[in-house]
Amino acid sequence: MKNTLVRSMGVLCLMSALAFAASSIHEFTLDSLKGEPTPLASFKGKIVLVVNVASQCGYTPQYEGLQALYMKYKDRGFVIAGFPANNFGGQEPGSNEEIGAFCKSTYGVTFPMFSKISVKGADIAPLYRFLTDKTANPKTGGDIQWNFTKFLVDRNGKIVQRFEPAVEPLSQELESAVSGALGK
């Protein structure tokens, strides 16, 4: 038991160290909703919108706007990466299978969705530790305050801009940032 705990703590420390040493999102691999390891390096050369999502949140209807944004720009090298998280008010209680079924049947989501993770706290996923690290990302770092926080990432995996949950996917602010990033 003690050896298992020590090993687990060692792995956690190593993962934390790797997150702080990362310089782009392309250095992370996370499981898809189907449990398949998906390297974010597969998004190299694309503009990515990373979003922590939830199925039972006041912002859940943003899935519709996210899907529309994805469809509008995907052929120009844009992708959305959805990361379900249950950190805020238990608003994502479902299993990965239930989350996938909900997103597809309710909002027709076709953009990449990942397995449920934690976006804050002691069990924060290494990707989100990197995204929120104020040292690595002084302009966009800081704790996630709620579901549907969005990070716009350039073709090299660097964070360009952060949008808080109230910013709608099809707002002029977000859409012009996506369009501008695609034009570079």
pTM given for the model: 0.89
pLDDT in tens, 56-80: 999 999 999 999 999 999 999 999 9
Query: CA-CA distance, 118 to 102, in Å (whole number)?
Result: 20
| Tokens matching residue 131 | 């995204």
How far is residue 129 from each of residues 4, 28, 92, 119, 148, measured CA to CA in Å?
A: 24, 11, 20, 8, 16
For residues 144 and 184, the model is more confident at 144
* Total tally of structural domains belonging to the chain: 1
- Residues in CB range of 28: below 8 A, 6 or more apart: 22, 39, 40, 126, 127, 130
Residue 53 sits in a domain of what CATH number?
3.40.30.10
Say what the pLDDT of residue 82 is. Answer: 98
Q: Is the confidence at residue 18, as pLDDT, over 80?
A: no
Query: CA-CA distance, 25 to 175, in Å (whole number)?
Result: 21
Mean pLDDT of 138-142: 95
Say what the pLDDT of residue 184 is. Answer: 80
Q: The domain containing residue 8 runs over which residues?
A: 2-183
Is 13 a known active-site residue? no
Catalytic residue among 18, 57, 68, 79: 57
Confidence of residue 40 (pLDDT cuts 50, 70, 90): very high
